[in-house]
Chains A and B, each alone.
Chain A
Amino acid sequence: MITSRRRRNLSHAIRYALLAFAAFILVYPFLYMLSTSFKTRSLVLGDPLQLIPEDPTLENYAAVFGVENFARYFLNSAVVAVASTVLIVLLSSMMAYAFSRLRFPGKRILFTLIIVGLTIPTMMLIIPQFLLARDLNLLNSLPGLVPFYVGTALGFNTFLLAGFFESIPKELDEAMLIDGAGPWRRYWHLALPLSKPALATCVIFAFLGTWDEFAWALTVLNDVEVRTLPIAIALFQGQHSTSWGLVFAASLIAIIPVLIVYIVFQRYFVAGLTSGALKS
C-alpha cells in the first residue's frame, strides 16, 4: 500500500516536472514579449532572462495609441471581424440546415462541391481572387474584405454544422410539422436553439480567423486608414526596424480579445477542433 502510494507520488512529481518544463518553453516567449513592451528603445536588447525591466515605461503603449493611430486599426479589425462572423454563421447554418434536414434535387452535387473546396488551400486562390476583387472594385476597401472572408470560411463551417444538425432527432421536426411549421420556423426555432455549442464553435473560429487574417488584407489594402491590426503590426516592424517595444505593445493589445475569447470558450475550442479534425 505505502510503496504503491509513494510510487504514485513519484510518478505525479515526474509528470508535473515535465509538464512544467513544457509550459515554461511554450509560455516564456510571451513573457519575453510582455517584458520587452515595457522597455525603452535603448534597453530593448538586454539580458533576455531579466523579465522585469529596470526602468519600466509605458512609452511604447502611449506611442501605439498616439503617433500610430492604433485605435483606428483596432476598430477596422473589429468591424470587419464582427460583420464577417455574423454572415459566416448565418449563411453556413442555413446551408447546413438544408443539406442535413431537407430534400432537394442537386443536393448531393452541391455538398460534394463544398467538401472538395475544403481541400483547396486558400493561398492557392490568392491570385485569381485578387483579379476578382479588382474587377468587382473591392480593392483597398474594408467592406470589400468581408465577402472574401465569408466565402472562404463557408465550407468548413457548413461541414461542421451539417454534422451537428444531423444528430438532432427527426422526431422533433415531425412534432413541429404537425403544428404546420415551415422549414424556416423549424430552422430558427428548433435547429438553431438546439445547436448552441456548435454555433459557439463557429462564432469563435470565424471571429479569430477574420480578426487575425493577414495575407489577403496585405494583398488588397493599400491606404493607411484602411489597415487592419495584423497589417498595422507587421508594418510597424518594417517602418521602425529597431523599435521592438512598439511592435510588442501593439501585438499584446491585438492579442487581448483573442485571449478573452479563448479563456472563456476554451471547451468549445476543443470541441470544434476535434470534431473538425477527427471527422474529416
Chain B
Amino acid sequence: MTTTPTIAPPQPVATSPVIRRRRALPAAGGGRREVLAAYGFVLPGFALYALIMLYPAVQTMLLSLRDWSITPGADSPWVGLDNYARAFADPVFLNSLVNAGAYTLVTVPLQIIIGLFLAVLLDSKLPGRVAFRVLFYLPVVTSWVVVSLLFRYIFSSGDGLANFVVVDLLGVAGENVSWFQDRWTGMIAISALGVWKGIGWSMIIFLAALTAVPKELHEAAAIDGAGAIGQFRYVSLPAIRGALATVLILLVIGGFNVFISVLLMTGGGPGNETQVPLTYMYDQAFKFLDFGYGSAVSFSLTALVLIVSVLQYWWTRRSLRS
C-alpha cells in the first residue's frame, strides 16, 4: 500500500529554503491557523468517539461497583466489589467461562490449521485461484444472524443436514442427535459454525503473508532437495510467523467474545448450560435488568481477555526474537 515518492527528496543543503520549509511544513502558513484547523479536523470525530466509546468504557467500570437501579432518579448504592464476588461464586458465570474457553480451544486451532492449509494450496499460479478465494471468503462476509439461523436449521433435530451427515453418511451416530438438548453437543454445533465462518478469514491473511515470500527462497530450497513439506517447514513457516501470531491473538479474543451465534442457536440453554460470558451478561442486564452485575461480568471478561492477549503478545514476541 506504500506509494513510492514521485518527487526526489531535496538535497541536504543546510541553508536551502526547501529544507527550512520542509521542517516547518506542518505549521506553515501561520502556525496558529494550522493548529486551529487541525482541531477542526479532529474534534467532531473525537468528541463522538469519546462519547460513544471512552465514556461508556469508564462507565462500565463504575456501574460494576454499584447496585444499579434502572429507574431514573432511584438510588443506586455503591457496593464495592460485591458484584465481582458474586460473579466468581456464580456457577453459571464460571461455566460460561469454561464454555467460551472450550469454544476457543476447539475453533482457534482448526481455523488456523485449515486456513493455513488452504492458503498454501492457493499460493501458486493455479488457474481459478481467485474463484476459490472468493468462495472461501463467502461465509466471512455473511452476517452472523443469517449464518447462526442457518446452522441452527442444519443442526435441528429430526432431519437436519447435520444428522444426515453423522447418521446416514458417516454412521458415527446410531440415531438422530438432539444437538441443542445437551451442553456439549450444543457447543459442538456452535463451534462448527465458528470454524466454518472463520476459515476464510485466516486463509486470506495467511495467503497475503505467503505471497510476500520471495519465490527465490523456494527455488533455493528446492535445489537443496527440499520437497513440498520441507519448503513449507523451512521457508514458508518462518516467513509467516508474524501473521501467525497476529491471527492467533485476534482469534483468541474473538473466541472469548462469541455472542450472536450462541444467542440465536441455543439462547444459552438448555438451563444455562451453553451460556458464554457475553450471553450471560446480556441476560443479566436486559432480561433481569441487573445492570451492575452485568457490568461486573462484562468487565471481568474484558480483563481476562486483556491478560490473555498481553501474555500471548509477550510470548510470541519472545519466541519471534529467538
* Residues of chain A having any CB pair with chain B under 8 Å: 11-12, 15-16, 18-19, 22-23, 25-27, 29-30, 32-33, 36, 45-49, 91-92, 94-95, 97-99, 101-105, 107, 110, 113-114, 117, 119-121, 123-132, 147-148, 150-152, 154-155, 158, 163-164, 167-175, 177, 180, 182-184, 187, 194, 197-198, 208, 211-212, 214-215, 219, 230, 233-234, 237, 244, 247-248, 251, 254-255, 258, 262-263, 266, 269-271, 273-275, 277-278, 280
A121 contact set on B, CB distance < 8 A: 253, 257, 302, 305
Inter-chain contact B45/A158, CB cutoff 8 Å: yes
B residues near A, CB below 8 A?
1-3, 5-7, 9, 18, 21-22, 25-29, 33-35, 37-39, 41-42, 44-46, 48-57, 59-60, 63, 114, 118, 121-122, 126, 132-139, 141-147, 149-154, 156, 158-161, 164, 196, 199-201, 204-205, 208-209, 228, 242-243, 246-247, 250, 253, 257, 259-260, 264, 278, 281-282, 285-286, 291, 294-295, 298-299, 301-302, 305-306, 309
Picked from B53, B137, B161, B246, the residue with its CB within 8 Å of the CB of A278 is: B246
Interface of A is mostly: helix
Question: Which of B9, B48, B143, B209 sits near A254, CB closer than 8 Å?
Answer: B143
B141 contacts A278, CB within 8 Å?
no
Contact across chains for A29 and B37 when beta carbons are under 8 A apart: no
B26 near A119 (CB under 8 angstroms)? no
Verify A154–B45 contact, CB threshold 8 A: yes
Within the complex, what minimum Cβ distance (angstroms) separates A88 from chain B?
9
List of A residues within 8 angstroms of B282 by Cβ: 126, 215
CB distance from A278 to the nearest CB of B (A): 6
Q: How far is the CA of A29 from the CA of B142 in the complex (A)?
A: 12
Number of A-B contacts (CB under 8 A): 295
Asked whether A280 lies within 8 Å of B55 as measured between CB atoms, the reply is no
CB-based closest 3 A-B pairs: A151-B52, A128-B59, A103-B26
Output the nearest chain B residue to A230 by Cβ-Cβ distance: B145
Given A127-B298, A219-B286, CB of A170 within 8 Å of CB of B196: no
